[in-house]
Amino acid sequence: MGVVAVDISISLDGFVTAPGAGPEHGLGLGGEVLHEWALGGSTPADAALLDASYAATGAVVMGRRLFDVVDGPHGWRDDLGYGAERDQSAAPPCFVLTHRPPAGIRLRTPSFFFVTEGIERAVELARAAAGERDVVVMGGADVCAQCVAAGLAEEIRIHLAPVLLGGGIRLFEHLGGPPRRLRIAEVTESPRATHLRYQVGGEARP
């Protein structure tokens, strides 16, 4: 059975974008460094992790602001989308958490489904679509925090880029609630990022 995993790249000072993030600059001004490990500079360790994650992902959950970036003019393409340059014909469906679906969609791959009933419903639909594979909650920061706060995340996967951005959007800035115990399940190092996989409560799995 797959897991529900929050999966996101972050700077050493805790930001998932640089300042100025929006449809024109999805990662903010200078924030592309966060994804160098996945785009244009992958080492063998990075590529192996991406391959394994892509193969294991059965559905994706994202927020509307992130959707507006990936579907925007500088966003994903037919040959470059979820999983970077991996075969987009096999890309998993994406469930977009939103208050109001867009009037139209530029992208045709992967399939996008718009969910207005909240994070629990989005994850429920993604689980059904994923079957035995993982549900990946890829962002933005608010949707990741909603997933953790609702007790839906079973894993948190952090790709820690060796950079201090000095500003931008923080991950888990307003999470609230009691402390949540995490268990380190895996650490993979590369010159581009340190990849950390945590399990939320319970015993670490092999």
What are the pLDDT digits (tens) for 5-60? 999 999 999 999 999 998 888 899 999 999 999 886 679 999 999 999 999 999 99
Roughly how many angstroms between the first and final C-alpha of the chain, as a whole number? 14
Domain 4-13+34-172+185-200: what homologous superfamily? Answer: Dihydrofolate Reductase, subunit A (3.40.430.10)
Task: List Cβ neighbours of 104 (8 Å cut-off, separation of 6 or more).
Answer: none
Average pLDDT value over all residues in the chain: 91
Residue of 139, 108, 166, 133 lying closest to 54 (CA atoms): 133
d(CA 36, CA 54): 17
Round to whole Å and give the CA distance between 115 and 102: 11
Single-letter amino acid code for the residue at 86: R
Asked if residues 20 and 26 have their Cβ atoms less than 8 Å apart, the reply is no
Q: What is the dihedral of CA 191, 181, 137, 163, to 10 degrees?
A: -30
Distance CA 125, CA 137 (A): 13
Instruction: Report the pLDDT value the prediction gives residue 205, as an integer from 0 to 100.
Output: 46
Residue 63 predicted with pLDDT over 90: yes
For 190-204, what is the mean pLDDT? Answer: 85
> Which has more confidence, 142 or 205?
142
- Selected residue with higher pLDDT from 123 and 205: 123
pLDDT tier at 202, thresholds 50, 70, 90: low
Of 169, 206, 151, nearest to 11 by C-alpha is 169
Asked whether residue 168 carries a pLDDT value surpassing 90, the answer given is yes
Rounded to two decimals, the pTM is 0.91
Side-chain half-sphere exposure of 167, counting CA atoms within 13 A: 6
Is there a cis peptide before residue 110, judged by omega within 30 degrees of 0?
A: yes
Q: Is the pLDDT of residue 66 over 60?
A: yes
Question: What whole-number distance in Å separates Cα of residue 69 and Cα of residue 89?
Answer: 20
Q: Check residue 23 and give its pLDDT.
A: 83
d(CA 180, CA 190): 28
pLDDT at 206 over 60: no
Longest distance between any two alpha carbons in the chain, whole Å: 45
* Contact (Cβ atoms closer than 8 angstroms) between residue 201 and residue 4: no
Q: Is residue 130's pLDDT more than 60?
A: yes
Residue 177, pLDDT > 90, answer: no
Lowest-confidence region among 2-6, 36-40, 94-98: 36-40
Mean pLDDT (whole number) for 178-185: 92
